[in-house]
Amino acid sequence: MNTVDGVYYEDLEEGYEVISPGRTMTEADIVNFAGLSGDFNIIHTDAEATKLTPFGQRIAHGLLGLSIASGLVARNPGAEQHRLVAFLGMTWDFRKPVFIGDTIYVQQTVAAKRATSKPGLGIVTYDVKVINHRSEVCQEGQWKVMYMMRDAASASE
């Protein structure tokens, strides 16, 4: 979807799906996220200790995967044209680990739409999946995003 003056609430239809570019998880990503978040749990930082875990190796922080998913969606073609007002919330489940060397991408589908009580604004609910290069769903849930409506945007110009 790519419109000349932007992507508004009205432009999004239920069922519309977009797939993000991919990104490979690196050791540097995990180390940097541990430093930023303060989460140095050994499941993320100790290669020897994690050999004894069910995963057999270090895994990325779940919130790191979610953060990268947010960034990947922002890289979708035309994403800069979306007339977003606010990220309102989400439900989220962590299904499988993301390992160093995994390439992940995001599948985002418009699940529902509704106008708000405030004129000119609508809420779009997306079904979102973080999928690895083995086609496994690692994380999934719903994101709620507030959009401007086209009529309200043109009235304010």
Kindly list the distances between the CA atom of residue 147 and the CA atoms of 2, 31, 122, in Å, as whole numbers in the listed order. Answer: 16, 35, 5
State residue 119 phi and psi, 5-degree precision: -55, 140
**Which residue in 53, 101, 99, 85 sits closest to 153, CA to CA?**
85
Determine the pLDDT at residue 153: 58
The reported pLDDT for the residue numbered 76 is 86
| pLDDT at residue 131, as a whole number | 98
Query: Distance (Å, rounded) from C-alpha 54 to C-alpha 43?
Result: 10
- Chunked mean pLDDT (size 10), the chain, 157 residues: 73 96 98 98 97 97 98 87 93 98 98 96 98 98 96 60
The tokens describing 32, both together, are 């940097």
CB distance 141 to 109 below 8 Å: no
Q: Is the pTM of the predicted complex or chain greater than 0.85?
A: yes
Q: Which domains can be identified in the chain, with CATH numbers?
A: 9-155 (3.10.129.10)
The whole-number pLDDT of residue 2 equals 47
